[in-house]
């Protein structure tokens, strides 16, 4: 979305009416939310180092619809990769390759929380840093796939509403970026993010994830 709001935030001017109809979602070092392993995949991964994922939230961003960013653990280390698509211009459409205010960084868990709480990497002056975060452990993780997806979301532009190139309704905003990166990571218990999803409501669907408050450090 925009400015202190969600990078992909503007999608909601177009989709809010649709989203209001389809919404019905429920509503930290990561908590362990995986079920007891019974499948072949769970058995294979039971002894593997745990990964982890976080979603960072600006509840008042994007005209109160919310703005989100992401983080994931580099499995087997104490390092985390984190970032967001900020879209400080607030434009509904920015073509691929344009400036969408995308950024990512890498550091310790504590550094990640501190950077998010102060909007340390925001492109410009942030009106409001991230104030909430939800995290989970994950018995599956694909760090390189997630890194590749970061490159994809940072270069694909921004869209909320009608794509002027195709004439079709679409979305490439902060929630899409967050979901796509964490899906590429193979995050366990990651709730689907639908095209008309509102970030604040999607965050509530992460019912098994921990829930914490961010404060500047």
What's the CA gap between 96 and 164, in Å, rounded? 12
Q: Where are the domains of the chain?
A: 11-213
* Element containing residue 52 per DSSP (H, E): strand 51-58
What pTM does this model have? 0.79
The pLDDT profile of the chain, 217 residues, written as one tens digit per residue, is 433 333 344 333 333 333 332 333 222 345 433 333 445 544 444 455 799 999 999 998 888 889 999 999 999 999 999 999 999 999 999 999 999 999 999 999 999 999 999 999 998 888 788 999 999 999 999 999 999 999 999 999 999 998 898 888 989 999 999 999 999 999 999 999 988 789 999 999 999 999 999 988 6
Tokens encoding 134: 């939800």
* Distance set, CA 113 to CA 5, 31, 45, 116, 117 (Å): 18, 16, 28, 5, 6
115 DSSP assignment: H
* Element containing residue 40 per DSSP (H, E): helix 40-45
Nearest to 56 by CA among 3, 128, 121, 135: 135
Instruction: Assign 93 to helix, strand or coil.
Output: strand
Tokens 């995050």 belong to which residue? 187
Burial of 35 (0-12, 13-18, 19+ CB in 10 A): exposed
């Amino acid at each position: 979305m925009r400015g202190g709001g969600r990078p992909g935030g503007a999608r909601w001017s177009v989709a809010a009416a649709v989203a209001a109809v389809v919404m019905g979602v429920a509503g930290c070092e990561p908590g362990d939310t995986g079920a007891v392993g019974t499948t072949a995949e769970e058995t294979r991964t039971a002894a593997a180092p745990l990964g982890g994922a976080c979603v960072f939230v600006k509840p008042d961003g994007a005209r109160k619809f919310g703005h989100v960013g992401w983080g994931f653990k580099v499995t087997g280390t104490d390092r985390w990769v984190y970032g967001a698509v900020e879209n400080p211009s607030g434009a509904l459409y920015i073509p691929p390759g344009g400036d969408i205010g995308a950024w990512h960084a890498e550091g310790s868990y504590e550094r990640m929380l501190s950077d998010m709480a102060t909007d340390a990497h925001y492109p410009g002056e942030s009106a409001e840093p991230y104030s909430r975060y939800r995290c989970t452990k994950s018995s599956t993780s694909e760090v390189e796939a997630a890194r590749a997806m970061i490159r994809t979301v940072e270069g694909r532009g921004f869209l909320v509403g009608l794509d002027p190139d195709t004439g079709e309704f679409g979305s490439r905003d902060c929630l899409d970026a967050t979901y796509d990166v964490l899906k590429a990571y193979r995050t366990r218990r990651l709730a689907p993010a639908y095209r008309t999803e509102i970030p604040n409501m999607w965050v509530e669907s992460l019912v098994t994830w921990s829930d914490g408050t961010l404060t500047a450090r």
